[in-house]
Structure 1
Amino acid sequence: MVAAHDLQDVDPFAATESLRTALPQAGIVLPSLAVDAGSPTLRLVDLGRVRADVAVRLAEALRRAGQG
C-alpha cells in the first residue's frame, strides 16, 4: 500500500489514465473522467456525473476490494 504523503505529488493525468484502465476491469465506465484543468495546483481528477446504477457498481467494487 502506498503512503498518503507519497500520493500528494501524483500527476493527475497519470492518475486519470490509471483509473481509466482499472475501472473496466470492474465493469465500470465513467464517461466524464478527466483532469480538472481549472485547478492545476490542486491536482484534481473529475470523476464526472454517472447514472445511479454505475454508482452502485462502483460502490460494490470498492467494497469487494476492501475485503480482499
Structure 2
Amino acid sequence: MPSSSKIQEALEARDALAAALGGAGIQLPAMDVRTPWADDRGRDAGYALVHLGVCSAPVALLLADVIRKGSAS
C-alpha cells in the first residue's frame, strides 16, 4: 500500500477536482481514491490514484466544454 502521504495527496487532489468541477456545475457520481495492486514481485506502486468513476454522456459533454473553454483562456 502506498504511504499515507501519497494517499493524503490523492484525497486532496480528488477534493480539489471535485470543488473545481462543482464550481463549473459538474458533479461526477463516483470519485474516490484507490491504490494500485502490487506488481508481480510484490512491490507497491508507491502512489494512489484518483478514480473518477463513470458519468453520463451529458456530463461528459459538459466536462469537455469546460476543458475546452479553460484551455482557450
Larger Rg: 2
Residue correspondence of structure 1 range 35-54 to structure 2 within 5 A: 35-36=33-34, 38-39=35-36, 41-54=46-59
Which amino acid in structure 1 is aligned with residue 12 of structure 2?
A
The two structures have a TM-score, normalised by structure 1, of 0.76
Give the % identical residues: 34
The two structures have a TM-score, normalised by structure 2, of 0.72
Q: Which of 16, 19, 34 is 2:17 aligned to? A: 19
If asked which structure has higher relative contact order (CA below 8 Å, sep 6+), I would say 2
Query: Structure 2: which 5+ runs fail to align?
Result: 1-5, 37-44
Query: Structure 1: which 5+ runs fail to align?
Result: 1-8
